Every structure is written in C-alpha cells, then in structure tokens.
A and B are shown apart, each in its own frame.
Chain A
Amino acid sequence: MRPDGKPEGLRQSMSWLHTWCGLLLGWLLYAVFFTGTLSFFVDEITDWMRPELHRSVPGPQTAELAVAAMQKIAPDAATWTINLPGERQTAVEASWRAPGAAAGRAGTQRVQLDAGTGEVLTPRETRGGNFLYRFHFELYAMPRIWGRWIVGIATMFMFVAIISGVITHKKIFAEFFTFRPRKGQRSWLDAHNATAVLALPFHIVITFSGLLLLMSMLMPWGIDAVYNGDAQKYFAESRGRAAGGGGEREARGGRPQAAEPAPLTAIAPLMQAAQARWPERGVGSIVVQRPGTPGSTIELREQGAHSVARGAGEKLLFDGATGAPRTPPEARAPSAAQMVSGTVMGIHLGRFADPAVRWLLFLSGVVGTVMAGSGLVLWVVKRLPERRKLGRTPRGHRSVEVLNIGAISGLSIATATYFFANRLLPVAIAQRADLEIRCFFVAWGLCLLHALLRPHRRAWLEQLWLAALAFAALPLLNAATGGTPLPAAMLHGQWSVAGFDLVALAFAALHGFAAWKLGKSAALAATRPAASGAGLRVPRPVAQSAEKQA
C-alpha cells in the first residue's frame, strides 16, 4: 500500500498490513497476552493473594477431615465437590449445591478448609488471579459481551498479523538464527522475529483457539444455519458427546425423598484404593452425590489428570453407602472435529496433566508477550531516520511512544500494584476486592501520565526500574504480611506460593535486565551527540549519515 499508488510486491503489501494490524490493536493485544500468560497460573496467584490459606498444610488425613467438615457444613446438599490440596493450591476448596439450586456458579456455595485440621478458613476478600484471567478476554468495567467482542476483534487482527508477518519474512526461519545485538533497529527486528518464530506454533494455536473459544458469539452463523436457530440444541449435543456421562448433571434434579438416611461410608479405604491405582498423582478431587441418602455415590478424580484430547482425566466411582466400586458411565468417543477443536482449546486453557507443560505454555506466553512488545517498540525505532530527516517528532510518533510505555512497563507496574494492594489494604475494609482492582487501574493510569510528562528514554528507564523493584519486593511483602516465606514454602512443598514468589523474582530480573540494557545504550548514546536527541538508539550508519547531513 504505497501512497504514490505504484505497484508493489506481495511482501511489501503484507508488510504494510502486518505493521498496521499490529499497531492498531497492539497495545490491547499486549495486555491480553500479558494477563493471559499470567492466567496459566490463575489458581496459584489466587492462593498467593489469600495468605490466610498458607498455613494449611496437608496431612494423611486431609480427605477424612474434609468429608467430616462437609457433613457438618452442608449435610443436606445435593452435591459436594472437594478439591484436595496439590501443587496448585494449599487449602481444601470445598463447594456444594443445595437441592434444586440454580445452575452454574450462582447455585454453588464455597468454603476453604484447613487441610491439616479441617476447620474453616476465612480468606480476605479478593478477586485474585481471576481478575487477570477475566480481564484477558472480557476487559473490565464494561458489559462482558462488549469486552469479549473487543478482544475477539483484536484476536482476529492478531491472526491476520501473524499470517502477514510470516509472508513478509519469507526467510523467517533462516533469520531465526540471526541475532545482531547492539545494532539498534536491526536488533529490535531480530528480537521481534526470533520471539515470533521461537513460539510460532504457540502463537498460531493460542490465537486461533482464542477465536474458537468465543465462537458462539463471534461466528454463530454455522450453528444458526445447521440447527435452524436452535443454539441450545447444539450446545446440548456437543456437551453430551465431549463430556460423556458427567456425574454433576444427572444430580441436578435434586435429592430424592429418602425414607431413612444412609450414612456415608468411610473415605479412607476408597482413598487408599485410588492411591494404589494412581501412585504418582494421587486423588485430586472428591465428588459426592446425594450425600447421606441410600442412592449416594462417591467419585474420586485423579490429580491434575486432564488430557488435552481426552478432556477430564480418570475417575473411580463408588457406592456412597457401601463403598462398593461401581462402573462409571462410558464416555462417548469424540469425533475428529471435536478432537481438533478440543485440543487447540485445551492448549489455550492449559488443561494439562503435567506441570512441565504448563510451565512451557507460560514461557511461550512470555515469549509472545515479548514479541508483541518488541513489535510495538520496533514501530518507533524504525521511524527514527524519518524523524531525523524531518528534524522534529511528529505527533503520531510521540503518541505511539507514550502508549508503548504505558502499555508495556505501565502494565507491569499496575500488576505489581495489584499484588501490593492485596497485602496492604486493611483486611476488613468494605469492597476490598474492588479496591484492589481500582489500585491496578489507578497505577496504570499514572504510568501513562508519567510517560506523557517525562522524556521518552527517561520514562522507559524509570518505569522499568520501578517495575523491577516492585516485583523483587513481592516475596518480602509476602513474608512480611502473613504469607508463607519463600524458603518455608519451598520446604513444605507449597508450590503455589513458592512458584509465585519465584516468578516474581524472575520478572524482577527481566525488567531489571531491560532497564540495564536501555541504560547502557543511553550512556553510549550520550557520548555521541547525533544519537542523543532521539528516544532510542539508532543504527550507526544512520547516525553517521545524519551527522554528515547536519
């Protein structure tokens, strides 16, 4: 797309498309990538943000204690779901549904139990990691449907940007092995290329599955046409086949009027049987249907055993009154189309058995975030020669600079602020969860303002250092405000808490490294008058030619 209308090659037009698709929604996409990446650890973040739960240390009797507690708390419930502690949570999370309760989250009540004693823990009010998770596809402070549409459209832009980017860089795989550090624009381009190619399959899958996850909203016309407008029928059919005979649904009708109560069998022998069957992972959750009645069932689910293609992991079903094993209803095998869509969506949701794969997804997300960020910075760096020729900074360029700082380092600071607010706001304050979120947005807004008021390079440096300091301080804050200190958490295997602290330290190092690199190049540039005026370093030949022209 040349302004003079001259014909151009496919690569040029794709490069144009890539640039503008990337820039127009780049800031939003950066935020989606950043918060989405953190969402791979949504449970861990929520755990860290509720230090009241950190003292819960599981023992051999955790399951018995939890079942006993539920018998006191909700003896007449239709269903209990007891999530046992594991590498992703320290406490027992138990939920129950009253007979005839509303479907979904509305009819579910929740409680946190100490895994060592079975007593009820009252954590502080917080949205925890859920706020970041929801933000990454619904944004905030607007009707959910708007947020989803905006993110959906941005995802389509991302998809187009990825494909046009691949076409633009026809030597993309050869160039992957090229990195020219400390070469200004070339280095930014190489960094952008390298991060793009390094995780290209991840970027494609995560973007495509993002669209699929919002499919019934973004592209309902296939369902509408094939089912003649009856979308509910489609959902029922696709659920029925993918999920197989799930226990929850059949129990939704409620509790039969039992003539006499039938006490639940002891859980310990069932746990032993399951432990013998799953020696590595053990039991992740216990689902009891119609507890206390003759028709009750106890279902044990393997810890973290979700497979992308299969869906939920293995289960063992027992009669609730006698403890005799029962055969669970056979799940129907998914079709090829369901395997494909289920697998890409499973990757997006991080439904994996293996923590190693979750970490790999997280790292791919970090690489994707760096790709989006480096692309935004590249837009500015690429236009430095043009700016030099003009002798001034066009308003558009300056806006991109300010938005880049606000979107990239500002978001890091806002996220760190959210965690600080979680620990520093009084526990009993009214509307605490909302206040935490407000702190996040106020910090983000202040960062944007700071970027507007300070010179470009100073703003980057100051915000990057602040972000590095804030993340480095999080493990100390955790220990000082009632959380399990990092060494103790590692010692007791509380990996949700320890993992958070370790990632915070890694983020501190990442931001510190970026600030240090930028500071070093700033010091270099200051010794070369030609390059010191602009925000970021320019490649040497450009700087030299600028000197000649001057």
Chain B
Amino acid sequence: MGRYRWAVASRALAATAGGYALSSATAAGLGLLLARSGNSSVDAVLWATMLAFVVHAVAALWAFGCASALRAWLGIGIPAALLGGAALALRGAPA
C-alpha cells in the first residue's frame, strides 16, 4: 500500500508540476519559434498558449496512463527540457 501511494503521489506531481513546466516551456518555446518564423507576435502567443493548455491536459493523461512513474517523468521531462532550452536560446538571440 505504501509503494502504491508513493507511485500515485509521484505521478500526480509529474502531472501537475511537471505538466505545468512542460506547458510553460511549450508556450514560451513554441511562441518564440512561431514569432521568429514570420508570424505576428500576437498570433505566436495565442497559438502557443492555446496549445500549451492542451499539452498540459495531455501530460496529465500521460502521467497516469503510462506503464510506470519513471516513464511518466521521462515523457514529460524530456520535451519540457527541449522546449525550455529552445526558449532560453531564442529569447536572448536577436529576431
């Protein structure tokens, strides 16, 4: 029972905090990518943010649907790191 509770807690954390990190990275990273590839700034923000909410919901489904808590974290953490990295790289760079 103890193990089960820890697994649920771990996945819940992946879904909420991890999911929010991933969706924030999506909003920022994708927003910058769109803005730098010819879209207007307002459009880039709107598309990226709308998608970010969907991404968070999908991340929550993934966190509880995949086979193990470790996979839950990897599946959310890796794309979050990639998009977050892209955001950091693009933000400093000139348009």
Contact = CB atoms under 8 A, between A and B. Distances in A.
A234 B42 contact: yes
A335 B56 contact: no
Interface in A182-214: 208, 211-212
Interface stretch (A11-19, A350-358, A489-497, A515-523): A11-19
A41 B64 CA distance: 39
A337 B53 contact: no
Interface in B2-59: 3-4, 7-8, 11, 15, 23-25, 27-32, 35, 40-50, 52-53, 56-58
A219 B3 contact: no
Dominant secondary structure of chain A at its interface with chain B: helix
A237 B47 CA distance: 15
B65 A226 contact: no
B53 A208 contact: yes
Contact of A336 (B4, B29, B43, B44): B43
Given A10-B65, A17-B64, A160-B57, A226 B44 contact: yes
A222 B48 contact: yes
Contacts of A167: 61
A322 interface: no
A442 interface: no
A225 interface: yes
A341 interface: yes
Contact of B65 (A5, A13, A156, A340): A13
A159 interface: yes
A7 interface: yes
B4 A335 contact: no
Contact of B31 (A21, A156, A211, A222): A222
Interface in A1-30: 1, 3-5, 7, 10, 13-14, 16-17, 21
A3 B1 contact: yes
B71 interface: no
Nearest to A242: B42
B87 interface: yes
A228 interface: yes
Contacts of B41: 226-227, 234, 237
B87 A225 contact: yes
B57 A219 contact: no
Nearest to B39: A337
Nearest to B28: A225
Contacts of B27: 219, 221-222, 225
A335 B28 contact: no
Given A219-B24, A222-B28, A17 B65 contact: yes
B52 to A, nearest CB: 5
B50 A164 contact: no
A160 B61 contact: yes
Nearest to A235: B42
B42 A219 contact: no
Contacts of A122: none
B54 to A, nearest CB: 8
Contact of A337 (B29, B46, B56): B46
Contacts of B44: 222, 226
A3 B46 CA distance: 41
A163 interface: yes
A234 B57 CA distance: 25
B40 A335 contact: yes
B31 A163 contact: no
A223 interface: yes
A386 interface: no
A383 interface: no
Nearest to A340: B50
Nearest to B44: A226
A1 B64 contact: yes
A13 B69 CA distance: 13
A13 B60 CA distance: 12
Interface of B: 1, 3-4, 7-8, 11, 15, 23-25, 27-32, 35, 40-50, 52-53, 56-58, 60-61, 64-65, 67, 87, 90-91
Given A221-B31, A237-B41, A340-B50, 15 more contacts: A1-B4, A1-B11, A3-B4, A10-B65, A17-B60, A21-B60, A163-B61, A164-B64, A208-B53, A215-B49, A221-B25, A223-B31, A228-B91, A238-B42, A337-B43
11 contacts: A5-B4, A159-B57, A160-B57, A211-B53, A215-B49, A221-B28, A223-B31, A225-B90, A228-B91, A234-B45, A238-B46
